[in-house]
Amino acid sequence: MTKPMSGALARNAKPTIRPARPYFSSGPCAKPPGWSPDNLDTKVLGRSHRSGLGKQRLALAIDLMREMLELPDTHRIGIVPGSDTGAFEMAMWTMLGARGVTTLAWESFGEAWVTDAVKQLKLDPTVIRADYGALPDLGAVDWSTDVLFTWNGTTSGVRVPDAEWIPADREGLSFADATSAVFAYRIDWAKIDVATFSWQKVLGGEGGHGVLILGPRAVERLESFTPDRPLPKVFRLVSKGKVAEGVFRGETINTPSMLAVEDAIVALEWAKGLGGLDALIARSSANAAALARIVEEREWLQHLAVDPASRSTTSVCLTLEGADEVRIKAIAKLLEAEDVAYDIAGYRDAPPGLRIWCGATVDTADIEALGPWLDWAWEQTK
């Protein structure tokens, strides 16, 4: 594919305009615009998370997440230990084994859940894979099994386009690792039995806690199936045969970081002030579109995700013609040293390239300002 050339003559010159906020890491991600530690409500710090105030703040975080996700009443939402990994593994360890399992993988995190299912849980799952940059055949999934997938593959920038491929009358449960997807895409919650995420992605919150969303069929599974494996306390979601409802009201299994909770509340209130889910999606889409224009204008730059329909609008992964890991590292280092872009080298297991976070906390003007700097770093490393 040939692309229009633009500004070729000016590309050796060092640009003068820097992104105002050079935070393009794919997790932890940029804080919301205007974020300051002074905006954190600190009244609960130093208090018990089981005090009236502690529970009230945890419940507020849960209520705001439900509102910003537009999560229906059919689904429970709670805060759990261990970030997204903790939440997803909690779901795997407590619910898998009742029927066959299918795991989908097209990048490193999907592959992590394959490893869990095969090597740790020894479930002998059907594994459906695709290479970095592509999506596997979603139509090949056997929905009589439980199905595990990553909504947005953060390390390849490939996501599922929607939930159309998940049947309404599925027999198995759908498990979505949705950590860099929630707040960036509309999710048809009727199709999702389990979803997990963490605050440090699209919300720009802090790491530490996972969020676990359970649909009614997942709750039914928890209450009707006892897995034949030991469960550590941090995974125990069932008490006396019933799902631990307190978890979904803010009675956490163990001690959370109330500082991280307060920070999440700040991010969620920012999201609410913007106009909620639609506004978050619009910001992320505008960022990804601005980056796509930069790619379009440069012969040497390509998206790793081949099909635009399944191209991420959060973790956008780019390949640079012929650039190996050494050159990629050099480019990322140069841009970091210039305070232009932090942490944009692709993930260690992915093909060499750059990964630029386009989630809602990033400003479009900052993405736009990156273009000339990419040209400059490209020339500098020739």
Ligand X SMILES: Cc1ncc(COP(=O)(O)O)c(C=O)c1O
Residue nearer to ligand X on the CB measure, 83 or 174: 83
Please report how close the Cβ of residue 155 comes to ligand X at its closest, in angstroms.
7
Residue among 179, 284, 287, 361 that touches ligand X (CB under 6 A): 179
Give the CA dihedral 302, 303, 305, 308, nearest 10 degrees. Answer: -110
Q: Which among 16-24, 134-142, 174-182, 299-307 is the span making contact with ligand X, rule CB under 6 A?
A: 174-182
Task: Rank residues 84 and 116 by Cβ distance to ligand X and give the closer one.
Answer: 84
Q: State how far the alpha carbon of 124 is from the alpha carbons of 99, 103, 222, in Å.
A: 11, 10, 21
- Bridge-based pairing state of the strands 101-105 and 126-129: parallel
Query: Which amino acid would we find at residue 246?
Result: G
Closest to ligand X by CB, 146 or 375:
146
Q: Where does the chain have alpha helices with state H?
A: 52-69, 83-95, 108-115, 216-224, 258-274, 277-296, 325-337, 364-380
Q: Dihedral sign, CA of 131, 136, 141, 146?
A: positive
Residue closer to ligand X (CB basis): 109 or 373: 109
Q: Taking a C-beta distance cutoff of 8 angstroms, is the pair 113, 105 a contact?
A: yes
Q: Is 54 in the site for ligand X (CB under 6 A)?
A: no
Task: Pick the binder of ligand X from 83, 94, 145, 310 (CB under 6 A).
Answer: 83
Which lies closer to ligand X via its Cβ, residue 61 or residue 219? 61
Query: Taking the complex as a whole, how short is the minimal distance between the CB of residue 218 and ligand X, in angstroms?
Result: 18
One residue of 180, 284, 312, 314 binding ligand X per CB under 6 A = 180
Under the binding rule (CB under 6 A), the answer on residue 198 touching ligand X is yes
- Is residue 154 within the footprint of ligand X (CB under 6 A)? yes
The smaller minimum CB distance to ligand X, of residues 65 and 369, is found at: 65
Query: Is 313 one of the binding residues for ligand X (CB under 6 A)?
Result: no
Under rule CB under 6 A, residue 206 binds ligand X: no
Q: By CB under 6 A, is residue 150 in contact with ligand X? A: yes
Cα separation, 160 vs 145, in Å, equals 19
- Report the Cα 153 to chain-centroid distance in Å: 8
Strand order in 76-81's β-sheet?
A: 76-81, 209-214, 194-198, 174-177, 146-150, 101-105, 126-129
**Which residues have CB under 8 Å from 317's CB, separation 6+?**
133, 155, 156, 157, 303, 304, 305, 346, 350, 353, 354, 355
- For residue 97, state whether it binds ligand X (rule: CB under 6 A): no
Minimum gap (Å) between residue 118 Cβ and ligand X:
17
Give the binding range for ligand X (CB under 6 A) out of 82-90, 164-172, 256-264, 318-326: 82-90
Q: Cβ closer to ligand X: 178 or 369?
A: 178
User: Helical H runs in 173-235?
Assistant: 216-224
Residue 15 or 28: which CB sits closer to ligand X? 28
Residue with tokens 């592509």: 134
Among 181, 193, 23, 202, residue whose Cα is nearest residue 110: 181
CA 213 to chain centre: 14
84 belongs to the binding site for ligand X (CB under 6 A): yes
Query: What's the min distance (Å) between Cβ of 32 and ligand X?
Result: 18
Choice between 22 and 359, CB closer to ligand X: 359
With left for phi above 0 and alpha for psi between -120 and 50, is residue 166 left, alpha or beta?
A: beta
Tell me the one-letter amino acid at 175: F
Residue 199 within binding range of ligand X, rule CB under 6 A: no
Contact string 19-38 vs ligand X (x = CB under 6 A): --------x-----------
Nearest CB to ligand X, comparing residues 87 and 367: 87
Q: Which stretch binds ligand X (CB under 6 A): 43-51, 78-86, 126-134, 362-370?
A: 78-86
Least separation in angstroms between CB 337 and ligand X: 25
Q: Which residues bind ligand X (CB under 6 A)?
A: 27, 83-85, 109, 150, 154, 177, 179-180, 198
